[in-house]
Structure formats: C-alpha cells, structure tokens
C-alpha cells in the first residue's frame, strides 16, 4: 500500500511540475534549402543520430501532387488543390529504411519519386491555400518537439522558433548532378534535370507565399565543396552546442 501511495504521489508531482524532458521530448531542428542540396539525406541522418522523428515536408507535397495527377486536378487550380489537400490523409511512418509515405491508407513511397510527380510538386506547392494547409499539418506533426523537419520554409514559416535552423545550399550545377543521380535509371538527360532545377529555384524563390530564403537567424552551409560526412559533422556540432546550452539552463 505504501509503495502504491508513493507511486501515486510521484505521478501527481510529475503532472504538476513536468520535467523539461516530459514537457518536450527534444528540440526542433529546421533544415531549409533548394532542391538537390541534400536536405533529405541530412535530415534522415540527424534524426537517426538523435533518435528524433524525421518529417519530410517535400514528401508531403509530392503525395498531394501524386493525388492531383491521379484525380486530374489542374496544377494551377489553387482552390481545387486546397480542397484536395483537405480531403487527403498524408502520413509519414518511420521504418528501418526511412519514412514510408502513406496517402489515404496507401503506401506511395516509391510512386512519389517519379519525375512527373517531382515536377508537379513544385507547381502545386506555390499556391498559398495549399501551403497554409500543409503548414498547419506540419505544425501539428511537430508540436511535441524532438523532430528534424526539412523543406523550404521551415525556419521562416512552419517553426520560426526552432532551436536550430540550417539553410543548406550548393551551386546549381552540383545540385543538378545530385538530383540526376537520384532519378531511377536516369529517365531524363542531365541537362534537362538541371534546367528543371533552375526553373524550380526560380519558382521557389519568387513565390509570394513563403519564398525560399534563409531565416535571419539560420546558419547557412554551402555544401558545394563539402562531403556528406563534413556537412553532417558541422551540423552535429551546431546541434550538440544547442543541446548543451539547453541542458545548462535546466540546472
């Protein structure tokens, strides 16, 4: 009986005065940058290293774009796309080989990597109503902290108060080559991939709603001449310093 009372009192104390770990599982790491800069790979490695949840916002836009293709919704019809988003259930399920993307209960992890879906996603994502719906959904998914979220407006729009903000960039030619190597069986010429990437950069940077730009307090890392290992090591230094600072404030 005494043991039960002790556990009950401890539970009541934790509810009244939750420790920082219980109040919030961890920090928010926001990674922004243009296509082909290596955001997704970096986010996946960081999430694994810190035991965080990796939220791929690009995959969410791709899933919506795939649904638009399948339902013949025009990429320039802002209202129809926003309604399509509201009717959709997009989930990211962690797995041993990375996230599985589930759209309305269907695994579309492979399907969203098609080149036509990639191109459609960049057009779908420019519409303010679509972005507003996505931002709300992403904020819900990351509200508990302990996440790595990558995209193009995470540090400026989705989580402007993120504890760590990284803007990952690289020369267009380097990013174009990286993206070309990611395409299954090289279904498009490298020159065409680079041209599409330059066009996407233009759309991302010039859109009226949440244009691609580093947050004022983001740390910019140019990976043009860096290896993946060097980029990861640099970002881990930044994250570890932030975690150490957060820990010292608790004491």
Q: Does residue 212 have a pLDDT over 90?
A: no
Whether residue 96 is contained in a domain is answered as yes
The predicted structure's pLDDT at residue 250? 66
- pTM (predicted TM-score): 0.76
Which of 89, 91, 111, 87 has its CA nearest to residue 100?
Answer: 91
- Please write the tens of the pLDDT for every residue from 96-154: 777 899 999 999 999 998 889 988 998 999 899 999 999 999 999 898 899 999 988 89
Whether residue 42 is contained in a domain is answered as yes
Q: What is the mean pLDDT of the chain?
A: 84
CATH of the domain at 50: 3.40.50.300
Whether residue 194 is contained in a domain is answered as yes
Sequence-ordered list of residues with C-beta below 8 angstroms from that of 41, at least 6 positions apart, any chain: 228
Number of domains in the chain: 1
* Domain coverage including residue 81: 27-239
Whether residue 2 is contained in a domain is answered as no
The 3-state DSSP class for residue 158 equals helix
Instruction: Report the C-alpha gap between 98 and 212 in whole angstroms.
Output: 25
Lowest mean pLDDT among 2-11, 27-36, 164-173: 2-11
Whether residue 5 is contained in a domain is answered as no
Whether residue 155 is contained in a domain is answered as yes
Whether residue 247 is contained in a domain is answered as no
The 3-state DSSP class for residue 56 equals strand
């Amino acid at each position: 009986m005494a043991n039960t009372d002790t556990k009950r009192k401890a539970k009541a104390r934790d509810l009244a005065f939750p420790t920082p770990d219980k109040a919030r599982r961890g920090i928010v790491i926001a990674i922004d940058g243009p296509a082909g800069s290596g955001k997704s790979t970096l986010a996946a490695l960081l999430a694994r290293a810190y035991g965080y949840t990796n939220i791929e916002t690009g995959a969410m836009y791709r899933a919506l774009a795939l649904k638009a293709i399948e339902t013949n919704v025009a990429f320039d019809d802002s209202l129809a796309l926003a309604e399509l988003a509201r009717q959709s259930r997009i989930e990211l399920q962690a797995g041993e080989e990375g996230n599985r993307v589930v759209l309305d209960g269907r695994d579309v992890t492979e399907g969203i990597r098609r080149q036509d879906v990639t191109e459609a996603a960049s057009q779908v994502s420019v519409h303010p109503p679509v972005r507003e719906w996505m931002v709300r959904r992403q904020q819900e998914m990351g509200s508990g902290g302990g996440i790595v979220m990558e995209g193009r407006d995470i540090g400026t729009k989705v989580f402007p108060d993120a504890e760590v903000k990284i803007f990952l960039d690289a020369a267009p030619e380097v990013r174009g080559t990286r993206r070309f190597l990611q395409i299954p069986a090289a279904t498009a010429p490298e020159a065409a991939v680079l041209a599409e990437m330059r066009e996407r950069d233009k759309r991302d940077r010039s859109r009226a709603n949440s244009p691609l730009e580093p947050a004022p307090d983001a740390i910019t890392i140019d990976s043009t001449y860096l290896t993946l290992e060097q980029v990861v090591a640099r970002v881990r230094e930044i994250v570890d310093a932030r975690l150490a600072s957060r820990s010292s404030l608790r004491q």
